[in-house]
Structure formats: C-alpha cells, structure tokens
Amino acid sequence: MLGHYFHKLYGVENTHRLNSLKENINARKKANCPLVSFTHDNHSFASEISNDEFNRLDIDKFIFEEIYENKKLIFLMRDPIDASMSYYKMCVNMTQRFSGSYEQWFEHPVFGLDALTKWYIVAFDLWQKHPNSIVLHYENLKQEGYEWRNLVKFTTGQDVNNEWLNEALHARDFGKLKQQEMKAKNIVDPNSDKLFVRQGGRDYQFTLPENIQDKIRNHKQLDRARQCVESMV
C-alpha cells in the first residue's frame, strides 16, 4: 500500500519492495521518498546487518538505539502466539525453513516461545525509548480506517491525499490479493496454508491441541509480552 501511495506522491516506481531495489535507491532519495526497511523474523531485527551477523550477536548486549537512531520506527503488533502460528505456516508450507510440529516449533531456540517473547519485550523497551515511533495493530490494518491515515502521515510527514490513499487501499485489497494468488498458484481452497495471503484472525491459537495451549498459558514470560503489546497499541 505504501509503495502505491509513494508512487503517486513522489513519482517513483510502484513496488512493495521499498528498500531492496538497489538500482533505484538514488532516484528514490533524490525524490525525497522514504526508504522503508521491513523485518518479520523474530531473529532479524535490522536490515543494516545480515542474518548471519546478527545470529552471532548476544541479543542481550545488542544496542538497538544505535541501529535505529534518527530513524522513524513503525511497530506492527499482533498477539504473539497468533503471529507465531502464522509464521509457522509460512515457514512450513512456503519457505520450507522449518519442518516439524507446532510443539517442536514452540520449543525451537529461534522460533520458540522464549525467543518470541524476548523479541516482543525488546521491541517494547525500544518503543519506550525511541522518540519517533508509531504503533499499529495487524487486525486494524485489515480494515479501511484511521490507522492507514496515521501510517501515511507518519511516513511522509505530510497531510494525506484521500484519493491516493483510497486508490492504494483498493489496489492492495485483501480479498483481491488473495484471489490473485489463488489463481497464480492454481489453488482452489481459500483457506489453504500454502497461500501467503491468509485470513488469520484473533485467537488463532485456540485451534491448537490442548497440551500446547497449556504450555502457552503457563509460559513465564508470555503474559508480560502480551501486556507489552496491549500497552503499545
């Protein structure tokens, strides 16, 4: 959506790859267009270093303030377990970065509950210290509402052009994207876990087996992580 809006406002290429088109970086900078870096894994926090470099670091000694100094931060928050389950489906069915059960996933040193909750708590600490950040909620961004306006105004520093915003939202409509992906992948089931554009939703975790739900309920750090998320939104 941002790529579409930036295309209208700055006259740059219409793309969702807002930080990885190396040949167009100078043109985007010349147009004063924001360069947006995305992080999705709970173990790859910054685009300025590689995953291999990050994995060699001691997370407790990692100085996030130095990496994000003088940058705007956008936190897209979601219930930690719902987010983890969605990521599990992507890693198992699409990227093949993981093979195993939910129970093995939640025990994993990188993908597991300990790593997941540590990431949320670190993100919360960073949000508290950072002078220029905004928090959005995943579920709210699935709706057309004020959070999209906040996001555009925050990234551009300008008042929102409603026509461009509505056009961008229409172009990136959830249902439309899902139909396009189903057609491209020849998938007929709209609930297939092989789709990148999945429905998701709140309380996704309650579809898990009861023994895993017990493990989640009894996890010592998870309540704190949820409190962090709720207080940020």
Dihedral over Cα of 23, 27, 28, 30: its sign: positive
Position 42 scores a pLDDT of 43
Mean pLDDT, rounded, for 19-34: 76
Position 233 scores a pLDDT of 64
Model pTM score: 0.74
Residue type, 18: L
Entry field: residues in the chain: 233
Strand (E) positions, 53-122?
Answer: 73-77
Specify which residues 75 forms β-bridges with: 135
Mean pLDDT score of the chain = 78
Position 199 scores a pLDDT of 63
Q: What is the pLDDT of residues 100-117, one digit of tens each?
A: 988 899 888 878 888 788
Sketch out the chain's domains with CATH numbers. 37-232 (3.40.50)
- The CA distances from residue 165 to 50, 140, 150, 161, 169, in Å, are 33, 16, 11, 6, 6
Q: What is the pLDDT of residues 58-115, one digit of tens each?
A: 544 445 556 677 888 888 887 778 878 888 888 888 878 888 988 899 888 878 888 7
